[in-house]
Amino acid sequence: MYYSNGNYEAFARPRKPAGVDDKSAWLVGAGLASMSAAAFMIRDGRMAGERITILERLRLPGGALDGIKEPKKGFVIRGGREMEDHFECLWDLFRSVPSIEIEDASVLDEFYWLNKDDPNYSLQRATVDRGQDAHTDGLFGLTEKAQKDIVKIFLATREEMEGKRIDEVFGPDFLASNFWLYWRTMFAFEEWHSALEMKLYLHRFVHHIGGLPDFSALKFTKYNQYESLVLPLYRWLLDQGVTFRFSTEVTDIDFEITPAPDGPGRKQATRIHWVADGEPGGVDLGEDDLVLATIGSLTENSDNGDHHTPARLDTGPAPAWDLWRRIAAKDPSFGHPDVFGGDIPRTKWESATVTTLDPRIPGYIQKICKRDPFSGKVVTGGIVTAKDSSWLLSWTVNRQPHFKQQPADQIVVWVYSLFVDTPGDYVKKPMQECTGEEITREWLYHLGVPVDQIDELASSGAKTVPVMMPYVTSFFMPRHAGDRPDVVPAGAVNFAFIGQFAETSRDCIFTTEYSVRTGMEAAYRLLDIERGVPEVFGSTYDVRTLLKATSRLRDGEEVDLPGPKFLRERLMRRLDGTQIGELLTDFGLIPELGGTARRERADDAVE
């Protein structure tokens, strides 16, 4: 397997790999990583769909990409997915998956047209004082010290960031900035999370720094992620003959490991053990029987409350994590799951899905987002953060209806908080102890609803389902090399690890792209597919992107060159009329001088 970019590789059709007709594939988990791997095996590896089986403990596919209407409770979305145009593997996949909305179109076509016609951006990113504009005004508010912190982390090696927390490498100035407010609430970072992952995010999305304050960098699906992404892919796989075995919990995988004195040796998966509908079973594996196992889970042991019942923090046995623990015990190269899943107080947070029933509530939403929530178009354009909320509460309204079954007079709202252990401002309880009704009260309070109407509207004007997720930020925990196993470990002949806890180069987790990338890499390596896997978008190596990001991080302020005035003036004269001088002037980092004037640039296809 190798990485590539450009149209030559993107549009090439690989030849059928040798021996593929003799192979079969067993995929553990029916999340996006597994389904993507199956799709790439079929499309690019020419494997017959009938030779692929997906094993799933739950009764439906999608993993963390959910969206469902629960009887008697209401609509539930545990989390949302923010996407962008340079999710290279994701769009490579969905260009081949037919839309179930538009005839003779792919899911990518449908998504592309939707976001062309209705581009995403926010009109109010943060509030204070119960729904008033926080006037962050698109500014990052980074002091010189905070800017130096970012540069230092950006230039550091991966090894220097391993095992470190964010608050160990960033100072108080940075942690008090608007940049950190935008960043942490958008990506769900806590101060104790991985400095290495923060660094990877900075590199991965440096081309979107300018779109961070107003979410103009983001793109969203028409409906929830299950109906817009999972369902079309699931139906396509069924049409190809793929077998899905639901209510089947994989409990262990056996390996034959032959050490070698001068290398990694040979590792072969030999049996999958499972329990299906309460009955133990399994399958023996030969060298041509491939296993692609999803390890870990961010939504494992999630618990749904309801409007009158808090969601429960489930710290009991976690099947996906226990499976990885059993696997990891068999070889050091299979990772260290407890680095990520062993500290629930540090990895939990809670979300809630609010469905409005009273027509008064959408009016308060519209007052903040400055758009009609019933328009069918972009509403909030991303999360709105109540900056002064003791829960650090954020909420968002995507295009409505968010569910195809959703009544036309209802709005579905997603709410989440980073500080679930802190008492609220109106409801004097931590979020994790609150019923759906109590969470609705706290949200309405920060929405600016008059205090004398909050309790009534929360009681009868909405239906809310809280969801507690013990492991939802587990992949952000500080880590070292080797804590996550390689997608295909050294010496492996017939197996791969996929999903958010498998290691792949340069990309960052908590994205749909990461899941698809690991699935694609696994399929390409195990079948020896001759086409290149798209590399992570290389904006971090583009001088235009770096200059633009530098300008935005300084809120447009020019760079104050050090040294005596006569030396600064001499340097500026030397830059006048040069390509470097033009670039620095175009991006507002130095003033216009002589014949060099700032130009509107049309060659920056980076945002």
Q: How many CB atoms lie within 10 A of CB 123?
A: 15
Single out the residue of 572, 594, 598 nearest to residue 585, CA to CA: 598
User: Which is the catalytic residue, given 182, 201, 445, 524?
Assistant: 201
Note if 82 is an active site residue: yes
Q: What residues contact 598, with CB distance under 8 A and at least 6 apart? A: 585, 586, 588, 592
Helix ranges, 67-106 (H):
88-94
The two three-digit tokens of residue 11, written as one number: 């549009």
Q: Rounded to an integer, what distance in angstroms lies between the CA atom of residue 253 and that of residue 265?
A: 19
- Residue 341 CA to residue 301 CA, distance in Å, equals 12
Secondary structure (3-state) at 425: coil
Q: Rounded CA gap, 317 and 339, in Å?
A: 17
- Measured CA to CA in angstroms, residue 477 lies from 15, 135, 185, 471, 503 at distances of 41, 32, 17, 10, 14
Report the interhelical angle of 451-460 vs 436-447 (nearest 10°): 140
Candidate list 82, 197, 249, 350, residue with the active-site label: 82
How would DSSP label each residue in 16-64? Answer: PPTTGGG-EEEEE--BHHHHHHHHHHHHTT---GGGEEEE-SSSSSBTT
**What are the phi and psi torsion angles at 577 (to 5°)?**
85, 0
Active site residues: 82, 201
